[in-house]
Amino acid sequence: MRTSIITKKIIATTLKDLMKTEPFVKISVSDIMKACQMRRQTFYYHFQDKYELLEWIYQYETKENIIDFLDYESWENIFNQLFDYFYQNQLFYKNAFEVTEQNSFIEYLSTHIKTLYLKAFEDMLRDSNKHLDQQELDILASFYSHGFVGLVKEWIEKSCVYSPEMMASIIRQQVLNQLRTITGNEEGDLK
């Protein structure tokens, strides 16, 4: 089973490398397998098509950068890690954002970022002894997740002109400001 994940990672890394210079739609399974020097049949042992491979990259890397950290890392640090990750992989994601057919990265990222925002809101509200009902939290998390994805997309399309640290800092501050407004806590006891 271990060799299976290694093979998937090799194929995924190859696609990511190819997408640094070519649009996803122009890359074939043959191109991927030729570049990683494996037989084409090996690809189909692991993935049905290149869209499934792209989805696997999203799932695997989102899990590594968001989901795996939710239970033990602060939401602020996860935002730092995300902006660093997107900065380091900007050429790949510039092309990934262009894929609007099946397995859209925008939809996939929005779903996981919403989970991150829910955690951030719940953590801060718990620390402040304030309460919002689940519907309000869900709407806020959706709003912010779509805004975050749009911001990241624009940032990447403009070649990440602002530093990852600056981007993460601005996002953190906006989340804190929003919660202070919602909870009526202008004095700033929210972390």
Residue 43, pLDDT score = 96
pLDDT tens for the chain, 191 residues: list them: 577 889 999 999 999 999 999 999 999 999 999 999 999 999 999 999 999 999 899 888 877 777 777 777 888 888 888 999 999 999 999 998 888 776 678 888 888 899 888 888 887 787 677 777 889 889 989 999 999 999 999 999 999 999 999 999 999 898 888 877 776 665 555 44
Best CA proximity match to 88, nearest among 187, 16, 139: 16
- CA 59, 18, 86, 141 dihedral sign is negative
CB 88 within 8 A of CB 16: no
* pTM attached to this predicted model: 0.82
CATH 1.10.357.10 applies to domain 49-183: yes
Q: Which part of the chain is CATH 1.10.357.10?
A: 49-183
**Token representation of residue 148:** 């975050």
Is the CATH code 1.10.10.60 the one for domain 1-47?
A: yes
pLDDT in the model for residue 11: 97
Domain with CATH 1.10.10.60 in the chain: 1-47
H-assigned helices in 98-133 = 105-128
